[in-house]
Amino acid sequence: MDDLTTAGLAETVRLTTSGEVTARAVVDAALARIGERDPALNAVSQLVADRARADADRLDAARAAGAVAGPLHGVPVVIKEELAVEGLVTTFGGEGNSTPAAADAEVVRRLRAAGAVVVATTTMPEFGAWPYTESSSRGYTRNPWDRTRTPGGSSGGTAAAVASGMVPVGMGGDGGGSIRIPSASCGLFGLKPQRGRVTSAPWDQLWWALGTAGPLARTVLDSALVYDVVRGHTDGDRWRAGETGSFAEAARREPGRLRIGWTTRPVTLGVRPDPVHVRAVHDTARLLTDLGHDVREVDPRYPDPTAAFVPQFFGGIRDEADGVEHFSRLERRTRETYRIGSWVTPKVLEWALRQTEKVSARANRVFDDVDVLLTPAVAHRPVPVGVLDGKGTVRSALAAMPAIAYAALWNVAGNPAAAVPCGPAADGLPVGVQLVGRTDDETTLLSLSAQVEAARPWPLVAPAYATA
């Protein structure tokens, strides 16, 4: 089972559907790795070992009886603890709820229907408010590349689980960079899809126009395979993306010659990118030029997304806090954030959504001249754990600025954007760049990212866990 540590989703499905290994054996191996590795990382919130083994046994029995295997047959997955998993408390990273969910969230249901086996939920900062996975309830989640460092957030538990080889893929969410930031921090591929591409059911929205769910994966194809299972809206979704083709097919084909603009200028004023990230953009621009693309520096003329983002941030947290069973159990910083956001009324949110449309129109002007925008994924290197210790809402927001400086704009604009690994830097920690695509154009990002992956392969798991 040691080979399963680095086996991605596609390889795991090949093994389970060919009969080389059973779903039960794959799940048992994943549970064993969680038991061995999670105590040092604190990535797992709730383990569901008994049900996972029973679900794997049912998959094996159905396969033996001649049933057609699903596209994720026997793949162990973890789920960020803001997504409902039947029988588990939907914690949102804290202690505000105590009643187990009666049903899976729609994306979790779709994963199970495709043959995936849920083995655990993963840690997050309470309500995903910060790009660092630590809280008074969960403590510190640690980066598998350096356990003194943060894995980023808010999908940091999922990132740590995948990057340490516990599971080949996991679900996260992104309301301001929360898929891309931990992916870049942990050496993973993480695509934030177009707004409305993935259902938020049973909710009609996640943080209004900002949020979406999606996978964190080791490879571009693995991410695409998950998206082909979970994407698609329901009747209750407030936002719906436009039509697009198969993500997996896109990840398997050449992108053609593209116009790619690059910049290291952050959206957030006063933030300076680390030289490591500047070099990563320059190196990637040269690689893309060598691959035959038309690559040039551009000025994106970024609009200021603050007026749209901030009300939705506060409104999203207040909505989720209003929905928990035990408000008094929320951590002190969350209750402070709730109070500070009291000015965000329904009228303010509707105004913010109108600002979102204006920001999106201005942000998308860059695509009049280029097909893809290349930027750093984050401005800073992964910081030591404890970055939020003793901080209230305002100081935590200031600490978050370098992490979201390139990412949050595209939540407001709605465009697809991906964190693409560049491999480790001289400090031994991974580096990622961000590729941003036109509206509804995830397929171009997937094709281009796969081309980069083939030309510049990255480690599949953190070095300390590659042979563990």
List residues with catalytic annotation: 80, 154, 178
Q: Cis ω on the peptide bond leading into residue 200 (within 30° of 0)?
A: no
The answer for residues whose C-beta is within 8 angstroms of residue 153's C-beta and 6 or more apart is 124, 125, 128, 130, 131, 132, 133, 134, 141, 178, 181, 182, 403
**Nearest-10 Cα torsion for 457, 460, 465, 468:** -100
The answer for residues whose C-beta is within 8 angstroms of residue 110's C-beta and 6 or more apart is 229, 230
Of the candidates 234, 236, 218, 237, the one whose C-alpha atom is nearest the C-alpha of residue 226 is 218
In angstroms, rounded to a whole number, what is the distance separating the alpha carbons of residues 81 and 100?
12
In angstroms, rounded to a whole number, what is the distance separating the alpha carbons of residues 448 and 255?
5
Of the candidates 297, 302, 309, the one whose C-alpha atom is nearest the C-alpha of residue 267 is 302
Class of residue 188 by CB neighbours under 10 A (exposed 0-12, middle 13-18, buried 19+): buried
Ramachandran angles phi, psi of 364, nearest 5°: -80, -5
